[in-house]
Copies of this chain bind each other. A is one copy, B any other.
Amino acid sequence: MSSSLLEQLIEAFRVLPGVGQKTAQRMAYHVLEREREGGRRLSSALAEAVERIGHCSRCRDFSETATCATCASASRDVHQLCVVESPVDRLAIEQATGYRGLYFVLQGRLSPLDGIGPRELGLDRLAARLGEGEVQELIIATNPTVEGEATAHYLAQLARQHGVRPSRLAHGVPLGGELEYVDRGTLSHAFGSRSEVPA
């Protein structure tokens, strides 16, 4: 390789998820050959985002202001609060559903072995919020993993302590999926939770 700046750029690209040596090379050469303007834009967007995006004081989601646009919005339903593990989960729900309530982002899941307890997930703040009396339903949308389920269990208890109704996303066969390829646990759950076909 002829250029140490180029080597540094290739190395720097590897910080991105799913980007190995080959892809990083391709990205660096692509930017230099065809997208210098785009590269400049990416550089400044990255610098600004990393410096200025912090967390919303209400929902812990990413925000460049103290309170994020969703929490500050007057058009959201304050009686529903949806708890997710990470900002990407929040984004997925926001894009896929017509949900108009608010969110709370844990930025993780309960994992005592890694030293992640209720405090690290901001559950004291969530408890205080449930205590305010506005929230009527706590929609628990943690991931269906062992740790996510444990977190969901904890959250459901927390909700009940504050007289808030906890709910959980439905589990079952994914739409468009083929039974043959659905994993055993999901299929068993979907079979057990079958519902009557309305007339």
Contact = CB atoms under 8 A, between A and B. Distances in A.
Contacts of A6: 49, 53, 62, 64
Contacts of A35: 15
A68 B3 contact: yes
A52 B41 CA distance: 16
B12 A62 contact: no
Contacts of A49: 5-6, 8-9, 28, 31-32, 39
- Looking at A18, A49, A62, the one whose CB has the most chain B CB atoms below 10 A away is A49
Contacts of A63: 2-3
Given A2-B61, A3-B62, 16 more contacts: A2-B69, A3-B53, A6-B53, A8-B49, A9-B49, A12-B41, A13-B42, A18-B26, A28-B49, A31-B49, A32-B53, A33-B86, A33-B107, A39-B46, A42-B43, A43-B47
